[in-house]
Amino acid sequence: MTTVIGLTGGIASGKSVVRQMLEARGAHVIDADLVGHEAYAPGTSCYRAVVSTFGPQIVRHDGQIDRKALGGKVFGDPAQRRRLEGIVWPWMRQTMEHRLAVLRGEGVPVVVLEAAVLIEAEWLPLVDEVWVVTVPPALARSRIMRRNGLSADQADARIAAQLTDGERARHARVIIENGGTLEELERRVDAEWRRIAPQQAARPYGPSGRDA
């Protein structure tokens, strides 16, 4: 039987670190960000729908969608953003649903679906349980400022533009607080891994990296 973990969390929460830890322990990972990039690839039905909706001027000379030009059309315009999400998110869901079906058919024990918009995109039916990675807002702010070269106000604006940890927590089976050390995070992940994959918990695994 396959257990599908929906892994989510806010910007700079460290969910990619948790994903790496789970992958090192034997979980198969589906990264929604990568699926999102596939959605814009020339030849997909999503690509055609996006170009049809937002115009040929968003297409570069090499046929790729110019994400900056597309962003200029939807940034700051909630109605346009919803139009784009209404095209891309269903395509992504169908693609991930198919991949999950294949993995279940292969008997993969644990699959991690990492998706920042797992809740917003209404992908919860794809997973068996939700893990939310949280971090204190001040730490998230400092990580964003350091990683993205933004001001405190810009970092706060990015944090404010997403769901709160409280809103995510309402859907969570597991809440992983990532405000401490890497070793503390490892222990928290290990405890949950032993719960969902007791037969694999004794397997040796390689070191995990740290990338918020």
Residues 83 and 120 reside in one and the same domain: no
Residue that finishes a domain, picked among 66, 81, 107: 107
What CATH number does residue 190 fall under? 3.40.50.300
Alpha carbons 124 and 171: distance in angstroms, whole number? 9
Residue that finishes a domain, picked among 59, 92, 107: 107
Q: Give how many domains the chain has, as a whole number.
A: 2
Amino acid (1-letter code) at residue 52: S
Residues 117 and 202 reside in one and the same domain: yes
Residues 204 and 118 reside in one and the same domain: yes
Residue that finishes a domain, picked among 80, 107, 134: 107
Question: Could you identify the residue written with the tokens 């893990």?
Answer: 131
Q: What is the pLDDT of residues 166-205, one digit of tens each?
A: 999 999 999 999 999 999 999 999 999 999 987 665 555 5
Residues 1 and 49 reside in one and the same domain: no
Residues 157 and 194 reside in one and the same domain: yes
Residues 9 and 68 reside in one and the same domain: no
Q: What is the pLDDT of residues 23-42, one digit of tens each?
A: 999 999 999 999 999 999 99
Residues 138 and 68 reside in one and the same domain: no
E strand segments, the chain: 3-9, 28-31, 110-114, 129-134, 174-177
Residues 171 and 195 reside in one and the same domain: yes
164 pLDDT more than 90: yes
Buried b (16+ CB within 10 A) or exposed e, 76-111: eeeeeeebbeebbbebbbebbeebbeebeeeebebb
The DSSP call for residue 59 is: B
Tokens representing 85?
Answer: 């999400």
Tokens representing 124?
Answer: 């919860």
Q: Give the C-alpha distances (Å, rounded to integers) separating 206 from 6, 24, 32, 186, 196.
A: 23, 6, 24, 12, 19
Residues 16 and 117 reside in one and the same domain: yes
Residues 78 and 139 reside in one and the same domain: no
pLDDT of residue 94: 98
| Structural domain that includes position 70 | 34-107
Residues 159 and 125 reside in one and the same domain: yes
Contact 177, 188 (CB under 8 A): yes
Record the pTM. 0.89
Residues 119 and 203 reside in one and the same domain: yes
